[in-house]
Chains A and B, each alone.
Chain A
Amino acid sequence: MQIKLFDSELKIMEILWEMGSATAKEIAMILSEQIGWSKTTTYTVIKKCVDKGAVKRSENNFLCSPLITKEEVQQAETAELITKMYNGAADKLVAAVLQNKKLSDEAIKRLKKIVKDLD
């Protein structure tokens, strides 16, 4: 299965792809300078990468190395998390989306009309 990473996680990967491998501390220092992340934040994101199987982290000195290449990574989308909830019942998912879409289209139309009337 493809590993999907968010932008924050991709940032960690970028550092590792460039450097080959680095300790968590080194990564934290670089990112603190580059984008102003606190140490805690960097460590949290590294852990997410480890949990997703994208990074290998050694026990003793927290040396991190990438487990996947740039080509193997896919951009994660928030919307996908919701699809998981429907467990592959595709027709149920489509029906729910269509119904919501119809409701929202009507609502949007009504709102635009209000703007026009009150202008």
Chain B
Amino acid sequence: MTFLRMSTSSITIIFFIILIRLIAMHKLPKRTFLVLWSIVLCRLLIPILIPSKWSLYTFLYQYKKAEISGGYSNQLISQFTDFSILNLFKPLLQNPTANWILILIWLAGFLISTSIFIIPYTRRVSEYRSALPVKNDIVDQWLSEQKTKVRFEIRQSDMIASPISYGILKPVILLPKTVDWSDTVALNYILTHEYIHIKTSDIILKWLATAALCIHWFNPAVWLMYSLVNRDIELACDESVVRDAGETIRSLYALTLIELEEKKFRLAPLSTGFSMSATEERIVSIMKTTKLKKISIIFAVLLIMLTSAVFMTEASVKVPNMIGNTHEDMQQILEDNNLTYIIQGN
């Protein structure tokens, strides 16, 4: 029950974030969205429920309770839930055979999703490992300009069409052999971009999102979240690159990005993964990137606090002191109302 609750309650917050994204995408620092998505991932991956009186679910419970005339009665408990989807599952879960079948279906889906990600990944990593070192003045120059304690390598491969960074303990920036080795602007953009991915541990976020996706494979909202997380990782990275280098570089970097997309297409002209809307989003975002304003940070922090308090918590409700109620009765009340905790009061 908790597991399903984790899954369905994430739907509300995912759509809330999507709404914010539509309204205020370019007015908030892009990393805000990564923090928000991390909150969702906590919800999806960590089965701990925290009651709070600011919770959305406390509000929903009180709201529903008011609908019952005559106040609260432990016989007339109306079924309320964040989504009636959860109630659809209730009768199924009560039946032990159905329960087992659901678990098996989940397991099958989980194994299939995991294979879909792991198998190509192991193949790719095996290819990445056979990359060759790079000897290039521009690259050396860029390296010498980085003041960092993170140890990483730069290599090249003729088996990839676009730059990629990988590896958590021993990070590597992999450049395609076909990159223009004399183009200072492009190389700087690529290297800085990949380096920021490494510095901000974006790959860990990607792994967590993938894990959440495999576990909640049945939840279409989580698929939506997955694609948006990946997009937002790129947007946050682009923003850092532009902020680092200064606003005047914006159009230069945007055009470099377009050039790289063009090249990718030329190398693999039948690749249907030529995602234009994602690239367009990146271009627009780069061109709209401005200096970090204090007020944006304030908004971002408030938004994050609000989201955590409202969506990531459970209903905390007071019920009248019910003398004579047995432990079983209390359990029943909890179950019928999809509650986790009840704080007894007068």
Give the B-binding residues of A (Cβ under 8 A): 6-8, 11, 35-38, 40-41, 44-45, 75-76, 78-79, 82, 85, 93, 96-97, 100-101, 103-104, 107-108, 110-112, 114-116, 118-119
Q: Contacts A8-B131, A78-B159 known; A118 to B265 CB distance under 8 Å?
A: no
Q: Which residue of B lies closest to A118 (CB)?
A: B287
**CA separation between A51 and B240, bound complex, in Å?**
45
How far in angstroms is the closest Cβ of chain A from B245? 16
**CA separation between A7 and B133, bound complex, in Å?**
11
Which residues from chain A contact B158 at a C-beta distance below 8 Å? 6-7, 75-76, 78
Which residues from chain A contact B280 at a C-beta distance below 8 Å? 110-111, 114
Interface centre among B250, B261, B267, B276 (most CB of A within 10 A): B276
How far in angstroms is the closest Cβ of chain A from B25? 14
How far in angstroms is the closest Cβ of chain A from B243? 17
14 A-B pairs in the complex with CB atoms less than 8 angstroms apart: A6-B130, A6-B158, A44-B126, A44-B130, A75-B158, A97-B269, A100-B269, A108-B258, A112-B255, A112-B258, A114-B284, A114-B287, A115-B283, A119-B287
Task: Determine the interface band of chain B, counting residues with CB < 8 A from chain A.
Answer: 20 to 34
**CA separation between A112 and B257, bound complex, in Å?**
10
Q: Which residue of A lies closest to B257 (CB)?
A: A111
B177 at the interface (CB under 8 A from A): yes
Which residues from chain A contact B131 at a C-beta distance below 8 Å? 8
Q: Are B283 and A37 in contact (CB under 8 A)?
A: no
Q: Which residue of A lies closest to B153 (CB)?
A: A36
How far in angstroms is the closest Cβ of chain B from A44? 6
Which residues from chain B contact A93 at a C-beta distance below 8 Å? 270
Q: Contacts A104-B274, A118-B287 known; A8 to B267 CB distance under 8 Å?
A: no
Q: Are A6 and B159 in contact (CB under 8 A)?
A: yes
Q: Are B254 and A115 in contact (CB under 8 A)?
A: yes
Contact with A along B271-306 (1 / 0, CB 8 A): 100101001100110011000000000000000000
How far in angstroms is the closest Cβ of chain B from A9? 8
B184 at the interface (CB under 8 A from A): no
Q: Which residue of A lies closest to B269 (CB)?
A: A97
Q: Are A119 and B250 in contact (CB under 8 A)?
A: yes
Contact for A97 among B177, B258, B270, B287, CB less than 8 A:
B270
Which residues from chain A contact B129 at a C-beta distance below 8 Å? 37-38, 40-41, 44
Q: Which residue of B lies closest to A40 (CB)?
A: B129
Q: Are B258 and A7 in contact (CB under 8 A)?
A: no
Q: Which residue of A lies closest to B261 (CB)?
A: A108
B74 at the interface (CB under 8 A from A): no
How far in angstroms is the closest Cβ of chain A from B234? 15
How far in angstroms is the closest Cβ of chain A from B316? 47
**CA separation between A112 and B259, bound complex, in Å?**
10
